[in-house]
A and B are shown apart, each in its own frame.
Chain A
Amino acid sequence: MLRFIFGRLAVLIPTFIGVSIIAFSFIRLLPGDPVMLMSGERVMSPERHAQIMTDLGLDRPIYIQYFDYLVNLLHGDFGSSIVTKRAVLDDFLQLFPATIELSLCAIILAVALGVPAGVLAAVKRGTWLDQTLMGTALVGYSMPIFWWGLLLVIFFSGYLGWTPVSGRISLMYFFPPVTGFMLIDSLLSGQAGAFKSAVTYLVLPTIVLATIPLAVIARQTRSAMLEVLGEDYVRTARSKGLSPFRVIGVHALRNALIPVITTIGLQVGVLLAGAILTETIFSWPGIGKWMVDSVFKRDYQVVQGGLMLIAAVIMVVNLIVDVLYGFINPRIRY
């Protein structure tokens, strides 16, 4: 097992270097040079330009610059924003909890609805229930979520007036962030109604972000269940006279869940891609919106650092999913 983890870590290192090369070369692929990008619209004398280039070490050979960049990365220096001058890592750490909170709620919703829907569809295979569930799942899978978000806003915020349109909590409440998770912080603050407010702000973004993972999980659960239901041990369990509930819930589902867990793990990248759109629609102050805003503000230092950090998160999560898979599936022994 340890050997497997170390093996995976060894593969992670070249991937990390590759990702850093992409993030590093990104700024250099843009038209102009980094100093010109920093100066923006302002006019800069050639002497001043050359001076800054020297100050920042940009006149040195490219591989030395890359090496410096890598050393900085390993020291936790991901550069700093040209606009706000704040360190990219600080911004990331401050905004990331908002994205984690949203993503966690979304994946919980997706699993809580997707797995039962998939099991039900498999057990009732070929019936109208199966067709309805899987039809709905395919619609969810095909959904342009940015449009779906707008529709929900029109209906629930505009027409019914149930939910707020953007942000994480009503402006009536203010308390210092403790964990960065609004649901927990609002409870800790002890202010009456703060938690409820946080929940109403979270509902629509969660639904939007959960839509595609929910559809994928439901479809995957159904096909995994169908495969398992035909196995001998399920027939044995049935013929032993066990209740259908026990056969499906214990004997079949536990085995069917193994591929489903991999699917859930693979949704992390999907969630982060979805977070870009969801956070933009609901002005959710997470890393997705931060990246989009930075691209538009041409704050390329932030884009560079953010790319690196997000890729690192995805790589680590994928590694964890791989290791967990070994624990869950007793047939795999490393």
Chain B
Amino acid sequence: MAVAEIKTATPPTGLAEFWFYFSRNKGAVIGFAIFLIILVLAIFAPWVTPHSPSAQNRDVLLLPPAFAAGGKWTYFLGTDAVGRDILSRLIFGARFSLFIGLVVVTLSVISGVLVGLIAGYFRGRTDTIIMRVMDIILAFPSLLLALVLVAVLGPGLLNAMIAISLVNLPHFVRLTRAAVMSERTKDYVIASRVAGAGTMRLMFLTILPNCLAPLIVQATLAFSAAILDAAALGFLGMGAQPPTPEWGTMLAEAREFIQRAWWVVTFPGLAILITVLAINLMGDGLRDALDPKLKRS
């Protein structure tokens, strides 16, 4: 008599479950892979770049890329107007863009979640005041407000990051507040309160972990938006200052050569597009994986 083997199914861990849903979205996996490649290149930039990002070679000004007529393989993506290797500058530029994204998201998530948690948990007058302030920030076009803030603080990468974080803040506040408001009256929160949990514990340990899913998705979107905004500020001359190899700043420097040397304009923008696209693809996958409404068990 055959004995049927009984499989005791262990419930998948959170991470395994997450990967199961995330990996069903092929675009998200591709985006994640591209992001990892960019990340690795950025981290190991000094070792993987063929040239120094600031070394000027006067013999090869505006050299076309290797695959175009007149290009050299030593300068794969060509050189800019002062003979710097574009590929090396782009790889170093990835450091700046990823760093900007990371700092902006960290700043706006921490402050936005804190403020949103306070507004959603305490409600009443505190909530009204906080939301009015957020309305005021939202009344300005984000890039204009960032531009003016940088004009006040002084042009530069750090100030650009601060300005973009501030402009991003209302989205996190609104999202956190909405999530907290829908959670705070649920049974498990009331049970915890009845059991004697203090305000801090209720806010940070009981409610917050259950509000994280939409915040993670928004953080991903904010990461890519921050890279775009910082590049836009750099392009307008108010972000990172030359000779920093920041992608937007590189584009601003290349503008006058658009009729003569297409490559100095094309590649920095392509780098921005690929990075932002990869992160947005990941964001879509995260949303699908974390949104319980979309899960079909």
Q: Is there an interface contact between A150 and B258, defined as CB atoms closer than 8 Å?
A: yes
Partner among A138, A150, A273 whose Cβ is within 8 Å of the Cβ of B281: A138
Contact A295 to B148, CB < 8 A, known contacts A15-B139, A19-B139, A148-B269: yes
Beyond A147-B268, A291-B147, A292-B147, is A272–B141 a contact (Cβ under 8 Å)?
yes
Query: Contacts A269-B142, A310-B144 given: A147-B152 contact, CB under 8 Å?
Result: no
Looking at B251, B259, B269, the one whose CB has the most chain A CB atoms below 10 A away is B269
Residues of A within 8 Å of B142, CB to CB, are: 269, 273
Set of chain B residues within 8 Å of A167, measured between Cβ atoms:
none
Q: Which of A30, A135, A146, A296 is close to B27, meaning CB atoms less than 8 Å apart?
A: A135
Contact (Cβ within 8 A) A147 B277:
no
Cβ contacts under 8 Å, A244 to chain B: none
A14 within 8 A of B: yes
B235 in complex: contacting residue of A138, A143, A146, CB < 8 Å: A146
- Report whether over half of chain A's contact residues are helix, strand or loop; otherwise say mixed: helix
Judged by a CB distance under 8 angstroms, whether A151 is at the interface is yes
Does the CB pair B265–A292 fall under 8 Å?
no
User: Which of B133, B147, B262 contacts A295, CB < 8 Å?
Assistant: B147
A273 touching B143 in the complex, CB below 8 Å, given contacts A138-B284, A142-B224: yes
Q: Is A43 an interface residue (CB 8 A)?
A: no
Give complex CA distance A193, B273 in Å: 38
Interface residues of B in 166-221 (CB under 8 A from A): none
Inter-chain contacts of B268 with A (CB < 8 A): 147
- Known: A158-B259, A280-B236, A307-B140. Is A151-B151 also a contact (CB below 8 A)? no
Q: Does A172 contact B (CB under 8 A)?
A: no
Q: Evaluate contact between A26 and B232: CB separation under 8 angstroms.
A: no
Are B143 and A277 touching (Cβ within 8 A)? yes
Total A-B Cβ pairs within 8 A: 119
Within 8 A of B (CB), among A7-49: 11, 14-15, 18-19, 22, 26, 29-30
* 16 sampled A-B residue pairs with Cβ under 8 A: A18-B135, A30-B152, A139-B273, A139-B277, A142-B276, A143-B273, A144-B231, A144-B273, A146-B232, A154-B259, A276-B144, A276-B236, A277-B232, A291-B144, A292-B236, A296-B237
Q: Is B232 a contact partner of A295 (Cβ separation < 8 A)?
A: no
Q: Is the CB of B147 within 8 A of A158?
A: no
- How many Å lie between the Cα of A138 and that of B269 in the bound state? 16
B245 to chain A, nearest CB (A): 16
Contacts of A234 in B (CB 8 A): none
A181 beta carbon closer than 8 Å to chain B: no
Q: Is A113 an interface residue (CB 8 A)?
A: no
A217 vs B235: C-alpha distance when bound (angstroms): 26
Q: Which residues from 126 to 144 on chain B have a C-beta closer than 8 Å to any C-beta of chain A?
A: 132-133, 135-136, 138-144
Q: Does B228 contact A (CB under 8 A)?
A: yes
Asked if residues A273 and B141 are in contact (CB atoms below 8 Å), the reply is: yes
B143–A311 touching, CB < 8 Å: no
Given A150-B251, A154-B265, A314 and B141 contact (CB-CB distance below 8 Å)? yes
The answer for the CA separation of A14 and B266 in the assembled complex, in Å, is 46
**In the complex, chain B residues whose CB is within 8 Å of the CB of A98:** none
A111 located at the interface, meaning its Cβ lies under 8 Å from any Cβ of chain B in the complex: no
Residues of chain B in range 236-255 having any CB-CB distance to chain A below 8 Å:
236-238, 248, 251, 255
For chain A residues 114-146, which have a beta carbon within 8 Å of chain B?
A: 135, 138-139, 141-144, 146
CB-based nearest A residue for B167: A273
